[in-house]
């Protein structure tokens, strides 16, 4: 991951330096949103599915301790070794130890946003272990030495020509070839070699079933299966919130997940892992990394219902026009903006403000997280913690005071309108971000209050 100290507004400003690219990015993701709309409107019971999923996840979050213990016992009975990691560092150490025990220095990994959150690739790289991401999009950003910009579509910010250049450089495809079919074939050949030769495979977990001790991994490329089935050791990393109580609940979540994510009725592969095959070791790492803290924050706990479909990103008009990297966090977009401050308020203090609070995110969320309300609430928390810029604090205090006193408000309004009329240069200049690309409203001769006094009061 690139280290950045810039905040969202500045990074989004940089992204908007190339308007054609912004248009392309916006339209690409809007197309995914439209696919989602089309497929959900085929299900008259869609809103009921959302309600059911939300209620099930509320139940999980309210009884997490019990479901975790149930899952652990069942998974162990199935022959899976269960590990607990309190934070990212512990998670990474556990993976490293397991690889050492099996004398493995090269691992293949299917998509896991949790490992992005934990910085696993960098950690293992520093310890001399090579990790190859096998999800095509993730492989592309890995070759480009960039973090994913989207949790479901990691390289959505890259055009096919740019991918062609990368493949030419790293995979030996001919120069200037950008045909997706050709590039995918090249990636397939390259990854097949990886799958066959790697002794360890790490996968994420979409759903873990407490009742049975099994877990489900959803991919469109079958790469999780290819990795896990060919490896001697399969490690699955999961956030502790990924549990569902019973297997039958998959009938709800699997219907919601990919319809929300990409507009498909179901993922191409929904793979159930329950027991290791003969001679294989299967490990599951249950990771907290701030989740129990979030669980304790009443206003924000239901952000843990998230099933990582990415629908809130595809619909977000801000995300579509600022790009995933502008969120400088493993999880971008609206959901990332309510999850990130839980991990580090100082570092991510800008993210809850990177929204117009339009509410589209909450409407597409398959588990009905009140995302935009939480953005509003995070703003209050961050300001109370003293994390607002000084200039903003001063400005807000002046504004709050002026608007509390009608006489001051009326004078300020009059002065403002007078200035705009008689000294427009005081307002229409480069210090005014409004004026940069927009005209100011034309000031009227009198306010409504003044008009009303003249025309309606005796």
Partner 1 sequence: MRVGLFIPCYVDQFYPKVAIATLELLEKLGVEVVYPLNQTCCGQPMANSGFQSLSKGCSDLFIKNFNEFDYIVSPSGSCVLYLREHLSETGHHHPDYLGSRVYELSSFLTDVLQVKNLTGSFPHKVGMHQSCHGQRGLHLSSMSELVAPVFSKPGKLLNMIKDIELIALSRVDECCGFGGTFCVTEEAVSVKMGKDRVADHLLQGAEYITGVDMSCLMHMEGILKRQGSKVKIIHIAEILNGDTGEGNN
Q: Which of residues 4-63 bind partner 1 (CB under 8 A)?
A: 8-9, 12-13, 15-16, 19, 22, 26, 30, 37, 40-41, 43-44, 46-47
Complex with partner 1: residue 222 or 359, whichever CB lies closer: 359
74-113 binders of partner 1 (CB under 8 A): none
Residue 322 Cβ vs partner 1, minimum distance, rounded to whole Å: 5
Query: Which 239-268 residues touch partner 1, going by CB under 8 A?
Result: none
Shortest spacing between CB 318 and partner 1, in angstroms: 6
Burial of 454 (0-12, 13-18, 19+ CB in 10 A): exposed
Strand pairing class (269-273; 106-109):
unpaired
Contact 377, 299 (CB under 8 A): yes
Q: How many CB atoms lie within 10 A of CB 456?
A: 7
Q: In angstroms, what is the minimal distance from the CB of 307 to partner 1? A: 17
Residue from the set 182, 417, 427, 428 that interacts with partner 1 by CB under 8 A: 417
Q: Under a CB-based contact definition with an 8 Å cutoff, are residues 2 and 123 in contact?
A: no
Contact pattern from residue 314 through residue 353 relative to partner 1, giving x for each residue in contact according to CB under 8 A and a dash for the rest: -x-xx--xx-----------------------------xx
Out of 55, 383, 419, 427, the residue judged to bind partner 1 by CB under 8 A = 383
Which of 180, 189, 265, 449 is in the footprint of partner 1 by CB under 8 A?
Answer: 449
Structure tokens at 335: 């959901």
Pick from 161, 416, 423, 429: which binds partner 1 (CB under 8 A)? 416
Among 101, 161, 193, 446, binds partner 1 (CB under 8 A): 446
Strand order in 281-287's β-sheet?
81-85, 281-287, 233-239, 200-203, 106-109, 130-133
User: Between 281 and 427, whose beta carbon lies closer to partner 1?
Assistant: 427
Among 213, 276, 334, 443, binds partner 1 (CB under 8 A): 443
Cα-atom radius of gyration of the chain, to the nearest Å?
A: 25
Q: Which among 201-209, 217-225, 246-254, 362-370 is the span making contact with partner 1, rule CB under 8 A?
A: 362-370
Using CB under 8 A as the binding rule, the residues of this chain from 288 to 317 that contact partner 1 are 315, 317
Q: How many CB atoms lie within 10 A of CB 187?
A: 20
Record the tokens describing residue 455, joined without a space.
């025309």
Give the one residue of 179, 406, 418, 424 binding partner 1; rule: CB under 8 A: 406
The reply to whether 433 sits near partner 1 by the rule CB under 8 A is: yes
- Based on CB atoms, which residue is closest to partner 1, 128 or 441? 441
Q: How many residues touch partner 1 (CB under 8 A)? A: 76
Q: How far is the CB of 242 from partner 1 (least distance, A)?
A: 25
Residue 218 CB, nearest approach to partner 1 (Å) = 22
Asked whether the beta carbons of 288 and 242 are under 8 A apart, the reply is no
Task: Tell me if 116 sits within 8 A of 102, measured CB to CB.
Answer: no
Vertex 110 angle, CA 109 and 113, to 5°: 100
Pick the stretch among 90-98, 111-119, 268-276, 387-395 that binds partner 1 (CB under 8 A).
Answer: 387-395
Contact between 405 and partner 1 by CB under 8 A: the answer reads: yes
- Of 153 and 312, nearer to partner 1 (C-beta) is 312
Of 2, 145, 436, 454, the one binding partner 1 (CB under 8 A) is: 436
Residue with tokens 């799958």: 195
Distance (Å, rounded) from C-alpha 447 to C-alpha 443? 9
Buried-exposed string 333-364: b where 16+ CB fall within 10 A, e elsewhere:
bbbbbbbbbbbeeeebbbbbbbbeeeebbbeb
Q: Where are the alpha helices (DSSP H) in 78-111?
A: 88-101
Residues present in the chain in total:
458
Q: Tell me which stretch binds partner 1 (CB under 8 A): 189-197, 214-222, 293-301, 358-366.
A: 358-366
Contacts with 306 (C-beta within 8 Å, 6 or more apart), sequence order: 241, 335, 339, 367, 369
Supply the minimum distance, in Å, between the C-beta of residue 20 and partner 1: 12
């Amino acid at each position: 991951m690139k280290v950045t100290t810039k905040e969202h507004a500045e990074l989004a400003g940089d992204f908007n330096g190339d308007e054609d690219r912004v248009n392309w990015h916006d339209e690409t993701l809007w197309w995914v949103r439209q696919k989602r709309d089309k497929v959900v409107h085929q299900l008259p019971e869609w809103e009921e599915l959302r309600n059911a999923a939300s209620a099930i996840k509320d139940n999980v979050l309210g009884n997490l301790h019990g479901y975790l213990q149930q899952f652990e016992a069942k998974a162990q009975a199935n022959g899976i070794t269960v590990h607990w990691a309190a934070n990212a560092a512990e998670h990474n150490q556990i993976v490293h130890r397991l690889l050492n025990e099996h004398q493995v220095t090269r691992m293949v990994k299917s998509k896991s946003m949790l490992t992005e959150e934990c910085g696993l690739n960098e950690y293992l790289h520093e310890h001399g272990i090579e990790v190859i991401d096998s999800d095509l999009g993730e492989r592309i950003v890995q070759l480009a030495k960039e973090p994913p910009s989207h949790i479901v579509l990691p390289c959505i910010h890259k055009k096919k020509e740019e991918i062609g250049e990368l493949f030419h450089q790293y995979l030996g495809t001919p120069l200037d070839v950008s045909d997706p079919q050709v590039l995918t074939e090249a990636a397939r050949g390259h990854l097949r070699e990886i799958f066959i030769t790697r002794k360890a495979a790490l996968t994420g977990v979409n759903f873990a079933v407490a009742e049975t001790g099994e877990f489900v991994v959803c991919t469109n490329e079958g790469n999780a299966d290819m990795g896990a089935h060919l490896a001697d050791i399969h490690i699955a990393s999961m956030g502790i919130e990924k549990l569902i109580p019973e297997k039958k609940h998959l009938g709800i979540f699997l219907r919601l997940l990919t319809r929300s994510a990409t507009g498909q009725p179901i993922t191409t592969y929904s793979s159930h892992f329950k027991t290791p095959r003969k001679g294989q070791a299967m490990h599951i790492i249950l990771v907290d990394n701030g989740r129990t803290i979030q669980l304790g924050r009443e206003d924000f706990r239901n952000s843990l219902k998230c099933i990582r479909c990415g629908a809130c990103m595809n619909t977000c008009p801000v995300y579509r026009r600022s790009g995933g990297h502008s969120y400088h966090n493993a999880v971008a977009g609206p959901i990332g903006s309510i999850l990130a401050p839980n991990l580090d308020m100082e570092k991510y203090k800008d993210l809850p403000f990177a929204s117009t609070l339009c509410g589209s995110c909450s409407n597409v969320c398959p588990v009905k997280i009140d995302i935009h309300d939480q953005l509003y609430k995070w703003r209050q928390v961050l300001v109370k913690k003293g994390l607002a810029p000084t200039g903003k604090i001063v400005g807000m205090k002046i504004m709050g005071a002026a608007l509390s006193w009608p006489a001051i408000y009326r004078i300020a309004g009059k002065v403002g309108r007078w200035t705009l009329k008689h000294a427009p240069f005081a307002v229409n200049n480069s210090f005014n971000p409004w004026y940069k690309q927009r005209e100011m409203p034309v000031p009227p001769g009198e306010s409504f209050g003044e008009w009303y006094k003249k025309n309606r009061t005796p």
